[in-house]
Amino acid sequence: MRKILLVSEIFPPTHGGSGRWFWEIYSRFPEGSVACLVGEHPDAETTDPAFPHPIYRFTLNSSEWGLRSISGLRYYLKAWNRLRKLVKGEGVAQIHCGRILPEGLAAMFINLTHRVPYTCYVHGEDVEVALTSRELKLLTQLVMKRAERIVANSQNSRRILTEKWQLPEHKVVVMTPGVDVDKFTPATGSQPLQKWAGKRVILTVGRLQKRKGQDMMIRALPRLEARFPNLHYCIVGDGAEREPLIRLAAELGVSHMVEFAGEIDDAEMVEHYRHCDLFALPNRRIGNDDEGFGMVLLEAQACGRSVLAGDSGGTRETLEQGTTGVLVDCTAPEPIAVALHQLLQNPENLQTMGYAGRQRVEECFSWNSLAEKARRLFLSSCGVSGGM
């Protein structure tokens, strides 16, 4: 059997929605059909045995994604050499790249030297950011031109590719991320997490970066405290904005309402989803950086929680407006505060939205059904049946 080689810097146990997406999809492919070249991680030995296909760890991160620097050239030479050996050793029929850059560019060089076709995943913000650099834009265009297909994580990302990058529509396939509906499930009882006893909890999960909008949610809290004195905002995740967010909460006098939970494991994550009152991803566009999809919104809905999301990027595709959640202009705190006031004063409606969200996720975003679609798409070109 000729294999697919997945190449991605982001892969569990490294946190990130794209890495989880790849793990869930490719773990459901038939035995012997996949091998993975992924980024190094100190805890990889504890997670890799749970994956049913060979995993090779390699330094896939680089300070330079272009070719105009010595470090960039060295990086791509090393990546090409590692890919070359795996293509031969694993009998690789096609390469799947977690991003256009840098993984896709390394695969393009293999295509030029070994004629192995490649597919690239696009997440929205990656190709938007590439537009800010003349070199990165040129390299992105070259990689996409030679790619067999481009997989967009949302209709929004597809629109960016066809309108801003002028890709032909037949070359772009939409495959959304999904959720493990057997793992992310509603709570079986009504007992809250002990640390949240007596509190009404808004939860955000994600990297602490500006486009995720944790700052705007913090800015909305002073407008809500008088009406909801037991309101509590829990932020799960870590990142460059942690210290600025802590300072912002202190400056606004709402530090007592904000919990920085940091990185937590999957079991804790599920419990946080289950026991919050409302999940919020108040994302907004920052320059060319936008939310490509928003897997965390699916995970929250799978746990029976209603959701609030920014009306930017691909998040609108994760919910049904007014039925499973609401889309809000999150470029300022006022619209967030108004929406939260309306939602929190009607607990019955929140519960109804949560039930509807769970049903929609089961029907449209189960990993099993999404993996079946991916198998049919990818394995036919390797001469393998798409079924299990």
Quick one: 307 and 371 in the same domain? no
Domain count, the chain: 2
pTM, two decimal places: 0.83
Quick one: 159 and 246 in the same domain? no
| Radius of gyration for the alpha carbons in the chain, expressed in angstroms and rounded | 21
Q: Which amino acid is at 19?
A: G
Quick one: 53 and 164 in the same domain? yes
CB 55 within 8 A of CB 22: no
Quick one: 141 and 214 in the same domain? no
Quick one: 19 and 161 in the same domain? yes
CB 75 within 8 A of CB 50: no
| Residue 387: per-residue pLDDT | 46
Question: Which region holds residue 337: left if phi is over 0, alpha if psi is between -120 and 50, else beta?
Answer: alpha
CB neighbour list of residue 226: distance below 8 Å, 6 or more residues apart = none
Quick one: 11 and 66 in the same domain? yes
Asked whether residue 328 is assigned to any structural domain, the reply reads: yes
CB 93 within 8 A of CB 381: yes
CB 68 within 8 A of CB 136: no
Q: Are strands 55-58 and 34-39 parallel, antiparallel or unpaired?
A: parallel
Asked whether residue 303 is assigned to any structural domain, the reply reads: yes
Taking the C-alpha atoms of residue 31 and residue 27, their distance in angstroms, rounded to an integer, is 9
Q: What is the mean pLDDT of each run of 10 residues along the chain (388 residues)?
A: 91 90 95 95 95 96 87 95 96 96 97 97 89 93 97 94 95 94 89 90 96 97 97 96 98 98 93 97 90 93 98 94 97 98 96 97 94 88 49
How is residue 183 written in tokens? 């793992």
Taking the C-alpha atoms of residue 185 and residue 131, their distance in angstroms, rounded to an integer, is 39
Sequential DSSP letters for 71-111: HHHHHHHHHHHHHHHHHHHHTEEEEEESSIIIIIHHHHHHH
Asked whether residue 152 is assigned to any structural domain, the reply reads: yes
Per-position b or e across 171-186, b if 16+ CB within 10 A of its CB: ebeebbbbbbbeebee
CA 172 to chain centre: 19
Output the domain CATH number for residue 204: 3.40.50.2000
Quick one: 170 and 251 in the same domain? no
Quick one: 283 and 308 in the same domain? yes
CA 82 to chain centre: 26
Quick one: 208 and 340 in the same domain? yes
| Residue 382: per-residue pLDDT | 55
Domain containing 255: what range?
194-364
| Residue 306: per-residue pLDDT | 98
Asked whether residue 287 is assigned to any structural domain, the reply reads: yes
Quick one: 170 and 261 in the same domain? no
Secondary structure class of 201 (helix, strand, coil): strand
Quick one: 360 and 372 in the same domain? no
Asked whether residue 184 is assigned to any structural domain, the reply reads: no
Measuring CA to CA, which residue among 311, 354, 358 is closest to residue 330?
A: 311
| Residue 320: per-residue pLDDT | 96
| Residue 113: per-residue pLDDT | 97
CB 258 within 8 A of CB 249: yes
How is residue 129 written in tokens? 């950011």
CB 125 within 8 A of CB 103: no
Asked whether residue 185 is assigned to any structural domain, the reply reads: no
Quick one: 21 and 140 in the same domain? yes
